[in-house]
Every structure is written in C-alpha cells, then in structure tokens.
C-alpha cells in the first residue's frame, strides 16, 4: 500500500488530502470518499468523534486494487479556507474539485472512478456526475428539512416522553432560527457545530432530482437502527435512480456503521466507536465495487 499527499485546488482555498493506492505501478480504479456533516478530516474524525471510516476504507480498497482519495474539509486539518464561513453548497463544489483532482491523477484510471459518501456526504455525492458508480452509506432521499425533522422525531422516540417532546420543539425552533439568520461567519460558534449558512442551504436542498439523474450503478446501505436517516430511504433511492440499483438495510447497523444489538440511542455511539467499522459493510462495498 502506498500513500501520497494530494493538493486539491478549490475556489478560494487549497484542500489537502491523501491518495492511498496499491503498491503496484499502473493505473487503478479510483474512489472518492465524502464524509458527513461537521468539520471532519481525511480520517473521518473531528473533535469529540472519530468515525475512522477513511483509514479503514483506504486499507480495504488498496488491498483490492483501488485507489482512495480522502481529504480534510475546507478550514479543517491542513486544508486552507474557513470552515465557519463555508456552506453546504461549498462542500458540493469542493467535492467536485476533489473528483477532478482524483480523475487527473496519473495513478488513477479516469474512466473507473467511483464515489463513496456517508451521511450528508452521500447527499453531496448525488450532485456529482461522470462517475462509474455510487456507494451511498446512510444517504437520504428527501429534502434536508424533512430529514432533520425525521431525525428529531426518531431520536425523541428513544427518550422519555417529556424530554422527547422538549427536544422536538427545541430543534424545530433551532431550524427556524437558522432559516432566518443572515450571519455568514460564526466567530463565537464552537468549531464542531454546523453553521446557520450550512444548515439553511442543506435544509433547502432536495436530493431527489440529483438521484433521478443518476444512470450509473448505485449501492445504498442504511442500517435498520439508524437514528439520523430513515432506512426507508433506501427503497426511495432505488425508485428514483435510473441505473442498476442494489440496496441493503442491515439489522442492528447504526448511523456510525457499527452493529449494536441494544436499543437505538445516540448515547451508545461513544461505545460503538471504540470498535472498527462493521466488517460486513466494508466487505459488501468491496464486492460491489469489484463487480461493477
């Protein structure tokens, strides 16, 4: 396995990433990883949470002859730019620039480039074109405001009734406040938070037209115990896309791509993240990529 630093020219910033590829010379099929919301780096980590998807996916892909590009988001890690001024549309444009850099790399076959997106990274992935195929892990098929309202209701159902009711009302007020906000940069906001600009743009974004425009093979996986994306969206994705489709809703799989036999709960994420990404997920993605 060989790792090489990659600089990605983007609008108003230069993003930093790493290309992990097999040690053998020649051109390899390429994969672009797009992480979920928040200031995530190339290792799928941010303050207080380390998903670990980037390194584990890179090692698995290199072992099967693929090259993976993963990068620090704008204003995160060693990437330039300002995270607290960036919006959802900036993330989409940065993903397109990263895809162009991957396709242009001399170790990558430009006709065999795929994308793997997790959570909102899967939504960003649906805005990209010219790919050999798409892997959407916990990807939504409805507008962002509907996704966030579903999240509130689903999480509230795991809490005592009074606390759940308070949570739903509080998050509804927060979404409405974000819609009315005119603030571009949030100097006093913790760097781990989502900015009003990002929230407003994401809530207004509808992934369905992008999904309907996809005529390439697509694999969608959302766990049955996901609290942040409706597992029913797997079937909705399948009904929207025009290309070959495969979908999975594995039992006990959570939003952080780990299995948990216990009741769904955000508070169980910390314990789940002490374990690697579920081996079945990685194996399923590898098998699909190799067969596509």
How confident is the model over 186-232, as pLDDT tens digits? 544 444 467 888 988 999 999 999 999 999 999 999 999 999 999 99
CATH number of 2-141+207-291: 3.40.50.1820
**3-class secondary structure, 259:** strand
The position carrying tokens 């997790």 is: 118
Q: What is the SS3 string spanning 71-123?
A: ECCCCCCCCCCCHHHCCHHHHHHHHHHHHHHHHHCCCEEEEEEEEEEECHHHH
Are residues 70 and 60 in contact, defined by beta-carbon separation less than 8 angstroms? Answer: no
Express each pLDDT in 254-281 by its tens digit.
999 999 999 998 889 999 999 999 999 9
Secondary structure (3-state) at 35? coil
Q: Residue 90 has what pLDDT?
A: 95
Token readout for 168 is: 């739903």
pTM (two decimals): 0.94
Give the chain's length: 292
């Amino acid at each position: 396995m060989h790792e090489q630093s990659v600089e990605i020219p983007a609008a108003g910033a230069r993003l930093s990433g790493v290309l992990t590829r097999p040690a053998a010379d020649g051109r390899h099929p390429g994969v672009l990883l797009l992480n979920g919301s928040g200031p995530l780096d190339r290792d799928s980590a941010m303050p207080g949470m380390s998903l670990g998807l980037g390194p584990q996916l890179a090692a698995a892909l290199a072992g099967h002859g693929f090259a993976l590009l993963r990068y620090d988001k704008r204003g995160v890690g060693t990437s330039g730019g300002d995270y607290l001024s960036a919006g959802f549309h900036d993330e989409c444009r940065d993903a397109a620039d990263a895809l162009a850099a991957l396709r242009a790399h001399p170790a990558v076959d430009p006709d065999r480039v795929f994308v793997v997106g997790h959570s909102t990274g899967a939504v960003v992935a649906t805005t990209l074109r010219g790919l050999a195929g798409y892997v959407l892990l916990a990807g939504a098929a409805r507008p962002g405001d509907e996704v966030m309202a579903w999240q509130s209701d689903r999480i509230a159902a795991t809490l005592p009734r009074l606390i759940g009711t308070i949570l739903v009302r509080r998050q509804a007020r927060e979404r409405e406040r974000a819609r009315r906000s005119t603030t571009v940069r949030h100097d006093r906001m913790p760097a781990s938070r989502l900015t009003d600009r990002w929230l407003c743009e994401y809530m207004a974004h509808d992934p369905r037209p992008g999904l309907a425009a996809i005529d390439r093979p697509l694999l969608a996986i959302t766990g049955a115990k996901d609290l942040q994306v409706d597992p029913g969206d797997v079937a909705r994705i399948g009904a929207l896309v025009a290309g070959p489709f495969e979908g999975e809703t594995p039992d006990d799989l959570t939003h952080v791509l780990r299995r948990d036999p216990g009741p769904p709960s955000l508070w169980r994420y910390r314990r789940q993240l002490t374990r690697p990404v579920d081996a079945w997920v990685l194996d399923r993605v590898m098998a699909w990529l190799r067969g596509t």
